[in-house]
Amino acid sequence: MNIQDWSKEVVEQAQRNIGAFRTVNGKRRRISSSGALKESLGYLVIEKNGKISIAFKSKLFYAAFIQSGVNGTEINHGSIYSFKEGGKMIPTGNVKGGTSDETWGIRKWMREKPMRLRDKSGSYIKATEKAKRSAAFAIAISLKKKGIAPMPFMSEAIMDTMDKHGIPLADFIEDAMSNSLKKYKK
């Protein structure tokens, strides 16, 4: 198997990982509600000066936050990313009239994922624009406090494909390097 084929297989496995249901904090979850993250994945194999590097990438800015998670102000997920005390609750994603709307991304997600709103007593309420904004604000506050648990769709795909082909990481890198060097010797 060459490095291009392996890289393509890793991306395909990561796409399957994104679409699969998994249990996080006792709740059944799927990484993507719209499918945009799944479709945004790709890879780049660069051969330069006898060295190969592979970059697995996404066109969406939030892919790294899903992969690595985000530490909340109250719960630490061991991520390199963190919500800060006093900082923004969530990435803004939209600017209207010169001021950022911090709940825009959550409200967009709420439209994609059918959601019925409830009041404090648990009864269903009409989903007015005010109620949606209020719910989005409450979700934003919760995200900031609890953070986002990591869902390592790409790193799991890398390890799964290496296990599938019985290739230890060191051997794979060594084979990739020697194949690359053979091309340059010709």
Q: Band the pLDDT of 117: cuts 50, 70, 90.
A: very high
Distance between CA atoms of 84 and 147, rounded to whole angstroms?
10
With a cut of 80, say whether residue 44 has pLDDT above it. Answer: yes
pLDDT of 14 over the 60 cut? yes
**How many other CB atoms are there within 10 angstroms of residue 169's CB atom?**
10
Over range 1-24, report the average pLDDT. 87
Q: 88 CB contacts (<8 Å, ≥6 apart)?
A: 100, 102
Domain ranges of the chain: 1-69+149-186, 77-148
Question: Which one, of 147, 156, 133, lies nearest residue 10 by Cα?
Answer: 156
pLDDT-based confidence at residue 53 (cuts at 50, 70, 90)? confident
Per residue in 151-172, pLDDT (tens digit) is 999 999 988 988 888 766 556 5
Residue 172 is predicted with a pLDDT of 59
pLDDT of 59 reads 92
Q: What is the mean pLDDT of residues 122-142?
A: 89
Euclidean distance between CA atoms 118 and 102, whole angstroms: 22
Instruction: Read off the pLDDT of each residue in 6-30 and give the average, rounded to a whole number.
Output: 85
pLDDT at 60 over 70: yes
State the pLDDT confidence band at 178, using cuts at 50, 70 and 90. Answer: low
Measured between alpha carbons, how far is residue 115 from residues 37, 107, 124, 136, 174 in Å? 20, 11, 11, 11, 50
Instruction: Kindly list the distances between the CA atom of residue 14 and the CA atoms of 23, 38, 165, 182, in Å, as whole numbers in the listed order.
Output: 17, 8, 16, 30
> Is residue 77's pLDDT more than 90?
yes
pLDDT, position 115: 81
52 DSSP β-pair partners: 47
Report the pLDDT value the prediction gives residue 184, as an integer from 0 to 100.
39
pLDDT at 110 over 80: yes
* Residues 135-154 pLDDT 10s: 888 888 899 999 998 999 99
- pLDDT greater than 50 at residue 119: yes
Average pLDDT rounded to a whole number, residues 66-90: 86
Q: Kindly state the average pLDDT of the residues 108-113.
A: 82
Q: Tell me if 56 sits within 8 A of 154, measured CB to CB.
A: yes
